Amino acid sequence: MEQVYLTLNAGSSNLKYSVYDAQVRHKLTAGKLEFKVSPSDSPDENALSLAVDRVVALVENTFGGDCIAAVGHRVVHGGDFYSQPILVDEEVLARLKTLIPLAPLHLPAEINAVEIIRQHYPDMAQVVCFDTAFHTTQMPLAQWFALPRTLNEQGVKRYGFHGLSYQYISTQLACVLQPEHRAKVIVAHLGNGASLCAMQDGKSVTTTMGFTALDGLVMGTRCGELDAGVVLHLCQQQGMSLKEVQQLLYKQSGLLGVSGVSSDMRELERSGKPEALEARQLFCFRAAQKLAGLIPALNGLDAIIFCGGIGEHSAATRAMICDYLAWLGVKLDVHANSVAGNGTQNINRLHAQGSAIGVYVIATNEELMIAQQSAAVVVPH
């Protein structure tokens, strides 16, 4: 019986999973289970428990009992504790629980999934892999807020997220990018969640997400960068509760809030409503604006890489962002951009002849990173 690696990405209303072979080279199967959230909009532990059990049963029925070498979990926040994946034990679990205030919409479900495996399958090895870990190499200034130092010491700082995606992209630079484009790179992870990361020689220097996954770019339902005074106004003048503000900023804003149509870029591109176009324009303008703002951290720019659901599949979004950056000398190959990501051709290079900046699209693979990190922890080389 060949052993496999199971990856889990637990949310409040779904559980994504994938299975990789013992050499962590091939994805054998993958899927997502949807379930209802509790009335309080928090993770339903019973529903998540049933989902975890279904996934484990599916894997063992398909590949044999006791086939799971390890379960790798995507965990959004590692705080200042973790810069590397780590095997789960009581101490790790206790530390993760102290980080819940830093990611209240993500960590509870992720921790619940870890605890369910521990309770139902106590002999199964588990590894937690952190989205913040890749950004621990950020330049120190990039991690600061202009707040009293005591708050920084208490952990109120810029952490950055989407690290598993960025780490995968960093492994692809040497085989996809032309040699002259590999040193100073900005990666645009554009999806329902969206951020940018400036990389020097494949390492994170600075990123647009900060203390939470709410900061930076316009997203599907999240507002991105926001004047903190708006939050004070909503509470003090509009009489909104903190829970109502949280719901507004995380679930009712972004593309959905601006367009009034949808949080899905594909639907907005199909829509004829002017509000849908305006939402798309805002998304692209902010992405270009923030991308330009990362260039000083690199002291230049060699290439832009698009990834994530929107970044990989929306030619119109890529074109609009690059149009805003034409002053940098960015020139797209119109044909290459139009067909990249549509499933008909495997195209990575998007820049035209004579472009001062390389432009590429790379399909990211966070699940592979989780599986590889889990295998490295369980069977260190």
β-bridge mates for residue 207, sequence order: 197
DSSP class of residue 36?
Answer: P
Q: Return the residue matching tokens 């490295």.
A: 376
Classify residue 242 by burial, with Cβ atoms within 10 Å: 0-12, 13-18, 19+.
exposed
Cα distance between residue 6 and residue 264, in whole Å: 29
Single-letter amino acid, residue 12: S
- The strands making up 194-200's β-sheet, listed across from edge to edge, are 203-207, 194-200, 184-190, 303-307, 358-361
Contact 370, 71 (CB under 8 A): no
Is residue 45 within 8 A of residue 119, CB to CB? The reply is no
Q: Which residues are registered as beta bridge partners of 7?
A: 18, 72
* Calpha distance 287→280 (Å, rounded): 11
How far is residue 349's CA from residue 305's CA, in Å, rounded to a whole number? Answer: 9
Is 131 annotated as catalytic?
A: yes
Please pick, among 131, 302, 323, 333, the residue that the annotation labels catalytic. 131
For 58-70, give the DSSP string: HHHHHH-TT-EEE
Torsion of CA 74, 160, 313, 364, to 10 degrees: -50
- Cite the active site residues: 131
